[in-house]
């Protein structure tokens, strides 16, 4: 036997890949300079990044944080760097950041909006983390809108309670009547009962109860709302209130009833066809004209109404998308179980359709939230409105970039995290559904 | 007379309106309609009462009165003596200008960014992501204001071009001046021009049509028609004989020779901007406010379009790309010939709503002083006349018409693309 | 769902408001607060400070009226209004009076149905140019780019001025003073035009005020004053005479420093009538006898208000000019208190 072997019996030892293919170098080669076009793009991009950063970074960090006025800022800049250009004067933010966040909300009551925001997250938990939070938490979600109104506006607790009682009354009438007569009759009478309660009884109820058991907090007028808080409030109210309206509109748009359908389509297309700013003009200039003579209520409430109508139209489209995405079999299954229209909607269709629509609702919210900045054009003191007001103060007249950079950063942080969350939700829902 | 086969004749009872499904839907609809009409009547009667109390009856007569204010950015001639209606019309054109410019730029930038976000160049993809996230998550009003501020602070004032030792110079062989009042570009002039024709007499939508432009378009149209004929002839010849005659030089000739002849006859030359007095004179002046609004709107919308494009591309299955590379197509051609045409079907519907958004967002022009229809009709006119109801309603009507026409056109296009697909 | 609640509550509130629409003075007394419309922010005239407290020349007038009616200078709800919303807010009753440097013009008075109750600042539209431009008269501005603030009478005056002098210009309409200032400083416009008071106030906050000059031409009359709705003459009288009281107080030498002393009674019968120690002027207005004294205590007499908010001691540094007492060659001329 010869032990001459032409076949290698043992493997070659593993060699390290060429230095140009691994590690930082390899990564750079593959991701930045894989072709001449890519190399050019990389170099251009590097230059662009350098150009932008070289302008922004020194401005941001070689800055003045403590000063009472722009002139003082300029003096400090001259002293430190010998020039007033290329340096930020963050002192204005330092001086006014609470105002930019809360507007004219009384400073000793700041805990109320903060608590309302925290409770909002709690109230949303059963919706957003349905797998981890007990369903009973939904009761809190139902109470939350009234709680929020009380926390934000203060005053007697009986106001929100009486508003909530309106729903209870309506529901009571509905259940009684629908057992005796028909469901449709029940709905009509229930709504009527609620409206009567709110219009005629609730104010007497509120004042009577307030004099018997006076529970209340310091009232805050909505005129004092402002700053970033106003944006959040307008966004939350508009989305929260528009959700039920949007559902009704979406159902109406899909219904077989021609007149109802065309009314809904007309409303949705009208609202979607005009810019928000014109609706805000309506809120600030015309809404009082449309209501009975002598009616006069707060501009913030009027803006809330118009923002709600605005978001309702978009919400209706989002929910319509959710309805359309449901397989036909779900509708047929509901029919075959003998459920009537409302039962089918309540038990089968809506829970699924709404779940699919959540990402769309979140992005509608982001859109509405960004659009709240438009209220500055009609003279409300949201962040941008406040920025103008601050610049009308003799101390800060002439300041510009710092305020807008701060505002942009605020919006970016909030909207970015929400959009990331919505993307996460989308992925989660996808796996849960298919 | 009854027969046995007939069902017993039902007598109509009132309760059938509620219980009988045949009537119930009608009942609901009638109730809804009555409710709607009551609401409308309530609002209208309130409005009439309120307006009477204010002593401001609804009338549109003020539109005929002189506007008394000037508009800097205008496509048609306008003076402060023209009527409010004319001012509104000028504003409407300005809205359309910025909307059209914005939509075109947003589409180009958006598609580019959407494709680059999928690039295998790490740095480029990251930069595009940063761009998209930055623009999507900050309100457009802020972007408009910031764009204006950057233009004003970043570009040189016309003064900087002055003197023996100017700190700024004109670009492109002294033909383009980029200043913080806007960009001045050369204008087309005709020394032996044909003049204008005036349309619509003295009404508020009157405008002039330059006959030079008409002549130019006619010649251009004729040339293009001839070019198509020639390539049709070449294709027929190719079908018949199998080899295609070289026609590109004929086509170029057909395209350019008549045009050059026409331009020479009309005495075509460029009018360059020149620093005279306070400002540049001559040339076409694109104002800062227009540029800022245009830039901000198109960059903002482009960020959304980029996401749509990216999603559309990702929706095309990987097999398509692989099949294309199996055919030997390079990545660029794969994108252009295989992926994008298919992605288009997914992309177009959300694109429509983005165009609509851009058009509606152009109403924020007020923030930079661009005189669009919100700035004229819904701004100064409303301020000076105090006719809020008339102005706001008309403003809404105008926007509604624009939006509905955009969606109509885009839906028509969408349907066409769809049909081609099948 | 909640919308209907709000609507319902609003309707209830509206019904309540409708029932109580007896007279503005009674409304204010019932409410305990004066709703006063101001600008969303104009240097020296109205702006909120870091604590949300409104300060300024127009604001002081609101406070004086509140003090006259309610005896409390802080019982004012300031409603910021824009050029667009101000008249609607007043007409709809959202605000009781508007103190938002609004020019008194024929059409506003007659066509828009408002009542101007006097003039608290005599202004006029002027021009500011950089000194380096070497311009000495507005007539030399042919072809210039002019920054204007929209939503005011400014743009109309400007169009008229350039048209009547047959010179061309390029208007750049801008929403707020702050933005106009930025454009002007960056050289995006050659000239900035607005009310002369605004120009002076703006120039005062520049890094180098001396590099800019105000041109001598004042191209318009801008009598700025508070206004109320047509129809409620009692309320109009209250605002008118509160303003007159402030002006008279300066003329008569009543200041916030010596008012307590003078309220005890002086030898000058007109001072006594003004301060309510003699006669029944307050009663005639439907107010307390010491209404004018309260108004003057709120922020001082006209001269003091001027000095603390926009006078030469402040960074804004406006001279009295036309707004001096008639005895000093100005236009302030209060009708007598008798």
Judgement on whether residues A272 and A417 belong to the same structural domain of the protein: yes
- pLDDT score at C22: 62
Which one of A263-267, A289-293, A294-298, B284-288 scores highest in mean pLDDT? A263-267
Per-residue HEC secondary structure of B375-420 comes to HHHHHHHHHHHCCHHHHHHHHHHHHHHHHHHHHHHHHHHHHHHHHH
Which of helix, strand or coil describes residue C192?
strand
Backbone angles phi, psi at A329, to 5 degrees: -55, -30
Note down the domain range covering B391.
84-165+278-421
Residues 275..334 of B with a Cβ closer than 8 Å to A: which? Answer: none
A198/C49 CB distance under 8 A: no
Nearest to B390 by CA among B399, B381, B401: B381
Q: The CATH number of the domain where B108 resides is what?
A: 1.10.3720.10
Determine the length of chain B.
422
Which residues of chain A does C40 touch, with a Cβ-Cβ cutoff of 8 Å?
A: 379, 381, 385, 388-389, 392
Asked if residue B63 belongs to a domain, the reply is no
The string of pLDDT tens digits covering residues C38-47 is 988 888 888 8
Average pLDDT over residues B255-283: 83
| pLDDT, tens digit, 9 for 90 and up, residues B12-49 | 776 666 667 677 778 888 888 998 999 999 999 999 88
Q: How many domains does chain A have?
A: 2
Asked whether residue A176 is domain-assigned, the answer is no
Q: Which of B118, B331, B119 lies closest to A38 in space, CA to CA?
A: B119
A367 part of a folded domain = yes
Q: What is the mean pLDDT of residues A212-219?
A: 80
pLDDT for A4 equals 67
Lowest mean pLDDT among B67-71, B203-207, B310-314, C18-22: C18-22
Please report whether residue A131 resides in a domain.
no
Indicate whether C4 pLDDT > 60: no
Q: Is residue A326 part of a domain?
A: yes
CB atoms within 10 A of CB B129: 15
Domains and CATH numbers, chain C: 23-122+223-328 (3.40.190.10), 125-220 (3.40.190.10)
Residue range C227-238: average pLDDT? 91
Q: Looking at residue C206, what DSSP letter applies?
A: S
In chain B, the number of structural domains is 1
Tell me the Cα Rg of chain B. Answer: 29
Q: What is the pLDDT of residues B279-335, one digit of tens each?
A: 888 788 888 899 999 999 999 999 999 999 998 888 888 888 899 989 998 888 888
A271 burial type by CB count under 10 A (0-12 exposed, 13-18 middle, 19+ buried): buried
**Residue B106 in domain:** yes
List the one residue out of B34, A226, A126, B120 whose CA is nearest residue C48: A226
Q: How far apart are CA A281 and CA A117, in angstroms?
A: 29
CB contact under 8 A, A294 and C44: no
Query: Residue C238: enclosing H or E segment and its boundaries?
Result: helix C233-252
Query: Is B57 a member of any domain?
Result: no
The rounded percent of chain B whose pLDDT value lies above 70 is: 94
- B230 part of a folded domain: no
- What pLDDT does residue B7 have? 59
Strands C169-174, C144-149: pairing kind: parallel
- B69 at the C interface (CB within 8 A)? yes
Exposed, middle or buried by CB within 10 Å (0-12, 13-18, 19+), for A136? exposed
Domain final residue, candidates A25, A56, A89:
A89
- Asked if residue B8 belongs to a domain, the reply is no
Token pair for C267: 């030898």
Per the DSSP assignment, residues forming a β-bridge with C145 are C170
CA nearest A384 in C: which residue? Answer: C40
Rounded to the nearest angstrom, the gap between the alpha carbon of residue B233 and the centroid of all alpha carbons in its chain is 37
Q: Which residues pair with C68 in a beta bridge?
A: none
Percent of chain A with pLDDT over 70: 97
Q: Kindly list the residues from chain B whose CB atom is less than 8 angstroms away from the CB atom of residue C18.
A: none
Q: What is the pTM of this model?
A: 0.87
pLDDT given at position C16: 41
Q: Could you tell me the two tokens for A344?
A: 């089918």
- Residues of B235-268 as b/e, b for ≥16 C-beta within 10 angstroms? eeeeeeeeeeeebeebbeebbeebbeebbeebeb
Domain span at residue A44? 38-89
Contacts (Cβ under 8 Å, ≥6 apart) of A112: A151, A152, A154, A217, A220
Residue to mutate among A230, A259, A379, with most B CBs inside 10 A, is: A259
Q: How far apart are CA A188 and CA A173, in angstroms?
A: 10
Longest dimension (CA), chain A: 117
Residue B418: CB partners within 8 Å, gap ≥ 6? B345
Spatial contact of B312 and B349, defined as CB atoms under 8 Å apart: no
Cα(B212)–Cα(B192) distance, integer angstroms: 9
Residues in C touching B66 (Cβ below 8 Å): none
Token pair listed for A163 = 């508003």
Could you tell me which of A64, A74, A60 has the C-alpha nearest to residue A408?
A: A60
Asked whether B231 and B155 are in contact (CB, 8 A), the reply is no
Q: Which residue of A has its CA nearest to C48?
A: A389
Express each pLDDT in A68-113 by its tens digit.
888 888 889 888 888 888 888 999 998 889 889 998 888 888 899 9
Q: What is the mean pLDDT of residues B246-265?
A: 85
Has residue A404 got a pLDDT over 60? yes
CA distance A28 to chain C (A): 43
* Distance in Å, alpha carbon of C65 to nearest chain B alpha carbon: 25
């Amino acid at each position: 036997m010869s032990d001459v072997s032409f076949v290698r019996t043992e493997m070659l030892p593993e060699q390290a890949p060429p230095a140009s293919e691994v590690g930082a170098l390899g990564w750079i080669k593959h991701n930045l300079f894989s072709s001449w076009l890519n190399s050019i793009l990389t170099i251009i991009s590097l230059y662009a990044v350098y150009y932008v950063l070289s302008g922004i970074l020194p401005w941001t960090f070689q800055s003045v944080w403590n000063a009472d006025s722009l002139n003082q800022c300029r003096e400090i800049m001259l002293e430190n760097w010998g020039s007033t250009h290329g340096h930020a004067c963050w002192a204005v933010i330092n001086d006014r950041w609470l105002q930019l966040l809360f507007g004219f909300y009384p400073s000793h009551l700041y805990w109320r909006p903060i608590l309302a925001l925290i409770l909002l997250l709690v109230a949303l938990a059963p919706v957003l983390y349905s797998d981890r939070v007990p369903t009973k938490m939904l009761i809190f979600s139902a109470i939350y809108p009234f709680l929020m109104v009380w926390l934000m506006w203060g005053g007697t607790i009986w106001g929100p309670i009486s508003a909530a009682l309106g729903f209870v009354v309506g529901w009571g009438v509905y259940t009684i009547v629908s057992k005796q007569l028909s469901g449709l009759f029940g709905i009509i009478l229930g709504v009527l009962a609620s409206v009567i309660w709110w219009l005629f009884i609730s104010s007497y109820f509120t004042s009577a109860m307030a004099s018997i058991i006076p529970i209340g907090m310091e009232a805050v007028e909505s005129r004092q709302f402002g700053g970033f808080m106003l944006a959040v409030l307008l966004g939350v109210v508009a989305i929260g209130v528009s959700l039920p309206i949007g559902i009704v509109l979406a159902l109406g748009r899909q219904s077989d009833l021609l007149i109802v359908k065309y009314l809904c389509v007309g409303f949705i297309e009208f609202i979607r066809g005009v810019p928000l700013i014109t609706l805000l003009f309506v809120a600030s200039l015309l809404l009082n004209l449309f209501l009975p003579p002598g009616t006069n209520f707060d501009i913030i409430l009027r803006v809330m109404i118009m923002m709600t109508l605005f978001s309702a139209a978009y919400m209706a489209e989002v929910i319509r998308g959710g309805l359309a995405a449901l397989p036909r079999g779900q509708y047929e299954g509901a029919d075959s179980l003998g459920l009537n229209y409302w039962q089918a909607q309540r038990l089968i269709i809506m829970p699924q359709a709404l779940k699919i629509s959540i990402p769309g609702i979140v992005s509608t919210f982001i859109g509405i939230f960004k659009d709240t900045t438009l209220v500055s054009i009609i003279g409300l003191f949201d962040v941008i409105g406040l920025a103008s007001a601050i610049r009308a103060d003799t101390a800060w007249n002439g300041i510009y970039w710092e305020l807008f950079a701060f505002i942009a950063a605020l919006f970016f942080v909030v909207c970015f995290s929400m959009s990331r969350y919505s993307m996460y939700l989308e992925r989660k829902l996808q796996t849960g559904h298919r | 007379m009854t027969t046995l086969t007939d069902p017993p004749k039902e007598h109509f009872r009132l309760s059938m309106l509620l219980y009988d499904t045949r009537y119930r839907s009608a009942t609901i609809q009638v109730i809804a309609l009555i409710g709607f009409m009551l609401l409308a009547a309530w609002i209208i009667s309130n409005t009439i009462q309120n307006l009477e109390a204010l002593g401001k009856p609804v009338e549109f007569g003020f539109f005929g009165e002189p506007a008394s204010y000037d508009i800097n950015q205008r496509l048609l001639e306008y003076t402060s003596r023209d009527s409010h209606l004319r001012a509104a019309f000028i504003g409407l054109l300005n809205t359309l200008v910025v909307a059209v410019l914005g939509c075109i730029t947003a589409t180009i930038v958006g598609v580019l960014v959407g494709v680059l976000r999928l690039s295998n160049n790490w740095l480029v993809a990251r930069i595009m992501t940063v761009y998209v996230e930055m623009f999507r998550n900050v309100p457009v009003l802020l972007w408009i204001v910031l764009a204006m501020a950057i233009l004003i602070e970043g570009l040189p004032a016309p003064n900087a071009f002055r003197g023996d030792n100017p700190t700024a110079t004109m670009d492109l062989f002294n033909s383009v001046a980029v200043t913080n009042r806007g960009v001045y570009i050369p204008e087309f002039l005709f020394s032996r021009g044909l003049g204008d024709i005036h349309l619509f007499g003295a009404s508020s939508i009157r405008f002039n049509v330059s006959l030079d432009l008409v002549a130019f378009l006619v010649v251009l149209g004729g040339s293009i028609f001839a070019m198509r004929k020639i390539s049709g002839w070449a294709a027929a010849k190719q079908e018949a004989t199998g080899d295609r005659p070289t026609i590109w030089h004929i086509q170029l000739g057909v395209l350019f020779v008549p045009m050059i002849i026409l331009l020479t006859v009309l005495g075509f030359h460029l009018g360059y901007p020149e620093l005279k007095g306070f400002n540049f004179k001559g040339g076409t002046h694109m104002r800062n406010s227009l540029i800022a609004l245009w830039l901000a709107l198109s960059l903002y919308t482009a960020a959304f379009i980029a996401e749509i494009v990216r999603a559309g591309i990702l929706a095309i299955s990987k097999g398509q790309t692989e099949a294309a590379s199996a055919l030997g197509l390079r990545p660029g051609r794969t994108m252009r010939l295989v992926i994008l045409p298919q992605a288009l079907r997914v992309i177009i519907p959300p694109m429509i709503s983005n165009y609509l958004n851009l058009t509606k967002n152009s109403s924020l022009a007020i923030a930079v002083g661009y005189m669009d229809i919100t700035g004229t009709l819904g701004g100064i006119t409303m301020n000076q006349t105090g006719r809020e109801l008339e102005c706001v309603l008309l403003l809404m009507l105008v926007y509604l018409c624009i939006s509905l026409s955009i969606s109509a056109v885009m839906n028509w296009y969408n349907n066409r693309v769809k049909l081609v697909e099948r | 769902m909640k919308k209907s609640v709000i609507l319902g509550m609003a309707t209830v509130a509206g019904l309540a408001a409708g029932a109580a629409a007896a007279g503005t003075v009674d409304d204010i007394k019932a409410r305990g607060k004066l709703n006063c419309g101001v600008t969303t922010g104009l240097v020296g005239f109205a702006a909120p400070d870091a604590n949300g407290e409104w300060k300024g020349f127009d604001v002081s007038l609101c406070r004086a009226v509140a003090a006259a009616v309610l005896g409390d200078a802080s019982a004012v709800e300031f409603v910021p209004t824009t050029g667009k919303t101000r008249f609607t807010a007043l007409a709809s009753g959202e605000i009781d009076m508007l103190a938002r440097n609004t020019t008194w013009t024929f059409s506003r008075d007659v066509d828009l149905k408002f009542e101007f109750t006097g003039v608290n600042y005599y202004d006029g539209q002027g021009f500011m140019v950089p000194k380096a431009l070497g311009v000495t008269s507005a007539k030399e501005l042919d072809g210039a780019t002019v920054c204007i603030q929209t939503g005011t009478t400014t743009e109309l005056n400007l169009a008229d001025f350039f048209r009547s002098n047959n010179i061309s210009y390029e208007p750049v309409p801008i929403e707020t003073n702050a933005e106009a200032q930025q454009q002007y400083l960056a050289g995006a416009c050659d000239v900035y035009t607005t009310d002369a008071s605004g120009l002076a106030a703006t120039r005062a906050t520049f890094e180098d005020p001396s590099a800019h000059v105000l041109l001598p031409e004042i191209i318009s009359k801008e009598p700025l004053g508070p206004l109320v709705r047509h129809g409620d003459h009692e309320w109009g009288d209250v605002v008118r005479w509160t303003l007159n009281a402030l002006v008279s107080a300066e003329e008569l030498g009543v200041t916030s420093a010596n008012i307590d002393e003078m309220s005890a009674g002086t030898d000058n019968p007109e001072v006594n009538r003004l301060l309510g120690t003699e006669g029944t002027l307050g009663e005639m207005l439907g107010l307390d006898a010491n209404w004018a004294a309260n108004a003057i205590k709120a922020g001082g007499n006209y001269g003091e208000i001027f000095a603390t908010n926009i006078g030469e001691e402040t960074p804004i540094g406006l001279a009295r000019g036309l707004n001096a007492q008639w005895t000093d060659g100005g236009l302030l001329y209060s009708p007598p208190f008798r």
